[in-house]
Amino acid sequence: MAALRGVDLRLDEGDFLTLFGPNGAGKTTLIRILATLARPTAGHVRIGGLEVRQGTAEVRRWIGVVSHQTFLYGDLTAEENLLLYARLYGLPDARTRAAQALQRVALGHRASDPVRTLSRGMQQRVAIARAVLHGPKILLLDEPYSGLDQHAAASLTATLQEMASLGRTVLMATHDLEQGLQLASRVAILSGGRLAHEGRAAGLDAAGFRRLYMDVVEGGAA
């Protein structure tokens, strides 16, 4: 009944790994473990050479997480939310940073509105701003495109492109094959808790990959 089994994965700096897999494959569990939100029952997680145990505060400074949950307080304004996180991450010039972050996701004009009053797409944009506020070296994304409108999706893609060009490391879990392949430098498939496939993304086209995906997922499952 383990969610993950024998997952051996290595990401180098600057890699953009898209993780595919059906629901229940363990993608969320893996991301939560990498984000220090969950502890593996066996095995090690090392980030930047440092062993990650749930208590390690420093490692969290390098990580940014985008999930389908926004981690935002609905009753606080977008700006207040970002200010809170800026303070928690110990960032100087919190106010300026928060304002700039909101500008970058084109929500500067809604800075003083409670997050509750924003549309889902806008909330996700604020969530993205929150995730990269502290300039993390690693970005973890769990189904970030789910439920997003075009505007928000474009904003997300822009952020991801920026991360990639800055040489940051990205791990994105998704079951949207097209979106996933766009920016990836590497791909992996998680099925039934196991790493069923792993390889370079260069040269892969959507159709070919779809066939590979179907084979792996249907053929591999116990």
Partner 1 sequence: MKTREWAGLALTGLSALAMMAAIYAALVYAPTERVMGALQRIFYFHVPVAVVAFLSFGVSFVASIGYLARGGRRWDQVAYAAAEIGEVFASLVILTGMMWARAAWNTWWTWDPRLTTTLVLWLIYAGYLILRGSVEDEIRRARYSAVVAILGFLDVPVVFMAIRWWRTIHPVVFDSSGVNLEPAMLSAFLISLAAFVILYVALLLARVRQESLADEVEFLRRRVQ
Partner 2 sequence: MSFLRTTWALVAKDLAVERRTRESLNVMFIFSVMVVVILNFAFELRVENVGQVAPGALWVAFAFAGVLGLNRSLARERENGCLEGLMLAPVDRNAIFVAKAAANLLFMAGAEAIVLPLFTVLFGVNVLRPDLLIVLLLGTLGLAAVGTLLAALAVHTRARDVLLPILLLPVSVPLLIAAAKATGGLLDGAGLAGVAGWLQLLGVYDAVFVAVSYLLFEYVLEE
Chain positions contacting partner 2, by CB under 8 A: 32, 35-39, 54-55, 57-61, 63, 65, 67, 69-76, 80, 84-85, 87-90, 114, 130
Residue 222: CB minimum distance to partner 1, A:
7
* Cα separation, 7 vs 158, whole angstroms: 30
Q: In a 10 Å sphere around its CB, with 0-12 CB exposed, 13-18 middle and 19+ buried, how is residue 102 labelled?
A: buried
SS (H, E, C) 144-212: CCCCCCHHHHHHHHHHHHHHHHCCCEEEEECCCHHHHHHHCCEEEEEECCEEEEEEECCCCCHHHHHHH
Question: Strand pairing of 194-200 and 186-191?
Answer: antiparallel
User: Which lies closer to partner 1 via its Cβ, residue 41 or residue 112?
Assistant: 41
Residue 50 binds: one of partner 2, partner 1, none (C-beta under 5 to 8 A by kind): none
Residue 87 binds: one of partner 2, partner 1, none (C-beta under 5 to 8 A by kind): partner 2
Ramachandran angles phi, psi of 29, nearest 5°: -60, -45
Residue 41 binds: one of partner 1, partner 2, none (C-beta under 5 to 8 A by kind): partner 1
Residue 61: CB minimum distance to partner 2, A:
5
- Contact between 126 and 113 under an 8 Å Cβ cutoff? The reply is no
Q: Tell me which residue has tokens 């390690």.
A: 56
Residue 1: CB minimum distance to partner 1, A:
6
Eight-state DSSP code of residue 215:
I
Interface ranges with partner 1 (CB under 8 A): 1, 41, 222
Residue 1 binds: one of partner 1, partner 2, none (C-beta under 5 to 8 A by kind): partner 1
User: Which lies closer to partner 2 via its Cβ, residue 31 or residue 196?
Assistant: 31
Comparing C-alpha atoms, which of 175, 116, 138 is closest to residue 47? 138
Residue 41: CB minimum distance to partner 1, A:
7
Residue 42 binds: one of partner 2, partner 1, none (C-beta under 5 to 8 A by kind): none
Residue 73 binds: one of partner 2, partner 1, none (C-beta under 5 to 8 A by kind): partner 2
User: Which lies closer to partner 2 via its Cβ, residue 143 or residue 197?
Assistant: 143
Comparing C-alpha atoms, which of 195, 219, 76, 41 is closest to residue 187? 195
Residue 40: CB minimum distance to partner 1, A:
11
User: Which lies closer to partner 1 via its Cβ, residue 202 or residue 222?
Assistant: 222
Residue 106 zone, left/alpha/beta (φ > 0; ψ -120 to 50; rest): left
- Contact between 133 and 101 under an 8 Å Cβ cutoff? The reply is yes
Residue 80: CB minimum distance to partner 2, A:
6
